[in-house]
Amino acid sequence: MLDRLLSESVTALICEGLVKLTEIAVDGTKLRANAGKGSFKSRSKLEAIETRVCTRIAALRAETESDPEASSRRKRAAQERAAREVMERTQKARAALERLQKEKAERSKTHAKAEAKKPEPRVSLTDLECRCMRFADGAVRPAYNAQIAAAPRQGVIVAVSVTDRRNDSGLAVPMVEEVANRYGEAPKTLLADTHYATKKDIVALSQRQAGAVEILMPPPPEKHT
């Protein structure tokens, strides 16, 4: 609802000539997720939970079938439904974890040392899509990475996209396509912070069939040896 309202509002401003998409500034910000650190589980923890839940469901079914009292059967049936819900969340968490493990394996091909230092991937049972991210104050919290595109001259946000990526590097192309999909028009110039656009992004946007996009981005600081 809010996403559609954003597109409709900005479209109206564009039609009135009050907002132009020629130049867009993009950046990301971390948003605290509604999940605790204790809700994050590794593969071995998820497998252990699945085993316990399967055992619990089997025991409840056996009790329900052998208990002649209807009230007791209803109570156990409710407990079984709750256990099945835990099982479903755990299975979804395992699927999300497998995706993270594949991403880690892919990154390891080019950043083996950096990936080797990182802990084993984990996912939250209460919020499957969030990830533990480092905030500006140095603290690590469950969060999302919100990508924001704005028309800087008018000070109007034109697009918002939420991702589970811990950093903004490599998200230039998705944000350009996000703007293009919303309004049928991509910016001609993209203003971004250092490292926001990778070399691959720069090449892809310069060769974009629907129109090349120029990226203006400050160079990384010099390394002093």
Q: For 63-118, how does the pLDDT look when each residue is reduced to its tens digit (9 = 90+)?
A: 777 765 655 666 777 777 888 888 888 888 888 888 888 877 877 887 788 777 77
Identify the pLDDT of residue 70: 54
From the list 53, 13, 15, 26, the residue with the least C-alpha distance to 179 is 26
pLDDT surpassing 80 at residue 221 = no
Specify whether 81 is located in the same domain as 52. Answer: yes
pLDDT in tens, 104-148: 787 788 778 877 777 788 888 888 888 888 898 989 899 999 999
Shared domain for 151 and 173, answered yes or no, is yes
In a domain, 222, yes or no: no
Note the pTM of the prediction, 2 decimals: 0.71
Residues 6+ apart with CB under 8 A from 211: 186, 188
Q: What is the pLDDT of residue 149?
A: 95
Lowest mean pLDDT among 54-63, 182-191, 209-218: 54-63
Separation between Cα atoms, residue 174 and residue 185, nearest integer Å: 14
Query: Under a CB-based contact definition with an 8 Å cutoff, are residues 61 and 225 in contact?
Result: no
Domain assignment present for 167: yes
What residues have CB less than 8 Å from 57, skipping those under 6 apart?
A: 80, 83, 84, 87
Same domain, 170 and 182: yes
Query: 156 lies in which domain range?
Result: 2-33+141-216
223, part of any domain = no
Residue that terminates a domain, selected from 72, 92, 124: 124
Residue 120, in any domain of the structure? yes
pLDDT for 224 equals 62
Asked whether residue 164 is assigned to any structural domain, the reply reads yes
The yes-or-no verdict on residue 225 having pLDDT over 70 is no
Residue 106 sits in the same domain as residue 68: yes
Strand partners, 102: none
In a domain, 133, yes or no: no
Answer yes or no: is 221 within a domain.
no
Nearest of 42, 11, 187 to residue 123 by alpha carbon: 42
Averaged pLDDT, 25-49: 89
Q: How many domains does the chain have?
A: 2
| Bridge partner residues of 41 (DSSP) | 123
Residues 114 and 86 in one domain: yes
Statement to judge: residues 50 and 92 lie in one domain = yes
Helix (H, G, I), strand (E, B) or coil at 202: helix
CATH number of the domain within which 15 lies: 3.30.420
**Average model confidence (pLDDT) across the chain:** 86
Among the listed residues 2, 36, 1, 214, the one whose alpha carbon sits nearest the alpha carbon of residue 124: 36
134 domain-assigned = no
- Consecutive H or E run containing 160: strand 156-163
Name the token pair of 9.
Answer: 């509002």
